[in-house]
Amino acid sequence: MESMTGQLLVATPTLKDPNFDRTVVLLVAHETGGALGVVLNRATEVPVADVLGNWGELAGDPAVLFEGGPVQPESAICLARTRPQVKKRVSGFHQVSGALGTVDLSADPDRLRDSVAGIRVFAGYSGWSPGQLEEEIAAGSWFVFDALPGDPFVSRPDDLWAMVLRRQGDILAAVAHFPPDVSLN
């Protein structure tokens, strides 16, 4: 099995699970024991600062919590992108792909201020048992694409699903215009 860590799962229009309808999920782990990701395009209205204090100062626009998925919504996963000039290992940062990684929220945010270009905090996560994600992909529930470094930090997360599909070109770009409810077409 080849790891898909760092890749995007983009829900196909046929995926009707309300937890994942038109979502873009970044896989932060994909191993033989299963997969874990966060939904990138479901912002809440809760400011990060209201829940995590000084971490809110590092949060990108919009500086709100995101719904990372239906599993353990009371837990938090923090994604961060290191600054280009940072070459040394950053304490509390676990690399996912390139400059993108997770951050330990029990750390002091001031210690990371000079090392990260921004964070995004997710309440809950999306999880798959061994083989489950691969079965869902084979069944046509997900497209799998390479992530761009800015995908987790877009300022208009509601547009991410269509944006990722459009940049694929050809027929996949047309899927971005697929109506949410075909029966109303």
Local confidence band at 19 (pLDDT 50, 70, 90 cut-offs): very high
- Distance, in Å, from the CA atom of 118 to the CA atom of 112, rounded to the nearest integer, reads 10
In the chain, alpha helices (H):
48-52, 109-112, 132-138, 160-166, 170-175
Local structure of 1: helix, strand or coil: coil
Is residue 77 exposed (0-12), middle (13-18) or buried (19+ Cβ within 10 Å)? buried
Tens-place pLDDT, residues 76-114? 999 999 988 776 778 888 999 999 999 999 989 998 888
pLDDT over 80 (residue 181): no
| Domains observed in the chain | 7-184 (3.40.1740.10)
Residues 118, 59 contacting (CB under 8 angstroms): yes
Tens-place pLDDT, residues 124-155? 999 999 999 999 999 999 999 999 989 999 99
- Distance, in Å, from the CA atom of 24 to the CA atom of 4, rounded to the nearest integer, reads 14
